[in-house]
């Protein structure tokens, strides 16, 4: 019955431009039946349109809010609409908590990558050709760029969920996960020879590329994508866990915290629950948990650079 009421509300709103006493000036046919295609100087300025949704989106949102108020009044919990939990918008942002946490993750990765760069090229000794001693420097530079790109599109997608932002967010996340798995193998098994690195990375790059193309140009299968992401995530956590269990790395405790914390945080992606107060759902809380883990993760990477550099300098003497 709720589904029928919601669909009926949306259909009526798209005809009249109003839902629950709220009318939307950008709907093509408002309640007076006069089209809203006025001259350019009568329309909202472009710099204000960033927060404006189209008529259908606003109708769906306001009908959803009205239905949820009715359900709450009779003691019923939230339900999903078009596969999404009912979130409360803030300044036109669809999922404000997830956007804020995604932006903080982006900032943490930028800070981590920048501090890693400064450590390598300004604080640690360099080779005669001005390159870092640390053998995995280039791998972590690429990782940092992919991580920042992923969290950027995560923030954009949670701000405005449309087909393009969704594909960019999911594709960026899969690319980051796939590359993280490659780095975990190369670092854990201490693969230094360039040819060997290519041989290890090639099949994973081929699979990740194929998966991204499948999602974008064949069918966007949410279930299959979740299975792929969980499998990749679990695989790299296991690799790091095994390595940290046998290594004598001085900062292995940091990696332990990241592995255990990352595993627990992954449960939030599997176990879904409605947003508290319209803001904090399982996905948003997962974004929040990754912020401190990111700080510790980049701290381990910096420590690893110091550790490996000190070993190589001793061998060079």
What is the sign, positive or negative, of the torsion defined by CA atoms of 215, 283, 110, 140? negative
Mean pLDDT over 111-127 rounds to 96
pLDDT per position as a tens digit, 71-93 = 778 878 788 777 777 888 888 88
Specify the pLDDT at position 43.
Answer: 52
pLDDT per position as a tens digit, 289-306 = 999 999 999 999 999 999
Residue 2 has pLDDT above 70, yes or no: no
Could you report how far apart the first and last alpha carbons of the chain are, in Å?
78
User: What domains lie within the chain, and their CATH numbers?
Assistant: 1-74 (no CATH), 96-316 (1.20.1070)
Q: How far apart are CA 233 and CA 106, in angstroms?
A: 19
Measuring CA to CA, how many Å separate 30 from each of 9, 57, 86? 15, 15, 25
What is the phi-psi region of residue 83: left when phi exceeds 0, alpha when psi lies from -120 to 50, beta otherwise? left
pLDDT per position as a tens digit, 130-175 = 899 999 999 999 999 999 999 999 999 999 888 899 999 999 999 9
Specify the pLDDT at position 87.
Answer: 82
Place of tokens 């349109």: 49
Q: How far apart are CA 177 and CA 215, in angstroms?
A: 15
Residues 6+ away with beta carbon under 8 Å from 64: 6, 81, 86
Q: What is the mean pLDDT of the chain?
A: 87
Specify the pLDDT at position 52.
Answer: 56
What is the sign, positive or negative, of the torsion defined by CA atoms of 71, 160, 208, 246? negative
Instruction: Output the pTM of the full model.
Output: 0.86
Instruction: Give alpha helix (H) positions in the chain.
Output: 2-16, 55-73, 96-118, 137-159, 163-188, 194-217, 222-246, 252-270, 282-316
Q: How far apart are CA 304 and CA 249, in angstroms?
A: 8
In this structure, of 34-38, 71-75, 263-267, the range with the lowest mean pLDDT score is 34-38
- The share of the chain scoring above pLDDT 90, in percent, equals 59
Q: How far apart are CA 245 and CA 107, in angstroms?
A: 30
């Amino acid at each position: 019955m709720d589904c029928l009421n919601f669909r009926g509300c949306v259909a009526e709103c798209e005809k009249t431009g109003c839902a629950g006493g709220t009318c939307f000036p950008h709907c093509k046919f408002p309640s007076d039946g006069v089209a809203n295609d006025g001259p350019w100087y009568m329309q909202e300025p472009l710099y204000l349109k960033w927060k404006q949704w189209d008529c259908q989106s606003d109708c769906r949102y306001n009908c959803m809010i009205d239905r949820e108020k009715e359900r709450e009044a009779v003691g019923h919990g939230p339900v999903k609409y078009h596969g999404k939990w009912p979130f409360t918008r803030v300044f036109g942002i669809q999922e404000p908590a997830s956007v804020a946490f995604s932006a903080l993750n982006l900032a943490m990765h930028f800070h981590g990558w920048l501090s890693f760069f400064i450590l390598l090229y300004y604080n640690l000794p360099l080779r005669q050709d001005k390159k870092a001693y640390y053998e995995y420097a280039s791998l972590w530079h690429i990782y940092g760029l992919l991580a920042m790109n992923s969290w950027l599109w995560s923030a954009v997608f949670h701000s405005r969920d449309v087909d393009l932002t969704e594909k960019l967010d999911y594709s960026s996340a899969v690319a980051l996960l796939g590359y993280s798995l490659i780095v975990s193998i190369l670092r854990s098994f201490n693969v230094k020879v360039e040819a060997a690195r290519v041989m290890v990375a090639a099949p994973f790059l081929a699979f990740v590329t194929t998966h991204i193309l499948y999602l974008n140009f064949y069918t966007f299968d949410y279930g299959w994508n979740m299975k792929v992401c969980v499998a990749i995530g679990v695989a790299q956590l296991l690799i790091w866990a095994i390595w940290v269990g046998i290594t004598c790395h001085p900062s292995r405790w940091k990696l332990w915290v990241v592995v255990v914390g990352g595993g627990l945080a992954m449960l939030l992606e599997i176990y879904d629950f409605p947003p508290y107060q319209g803001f904090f759902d399982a996905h948003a809380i997962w974004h929040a948990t990754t912020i401190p883990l990111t700080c510790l993760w980049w701290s381990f990477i910096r420590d690893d650079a110091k550790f490996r550099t000190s070993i190589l300098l001793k061998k060079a003497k």
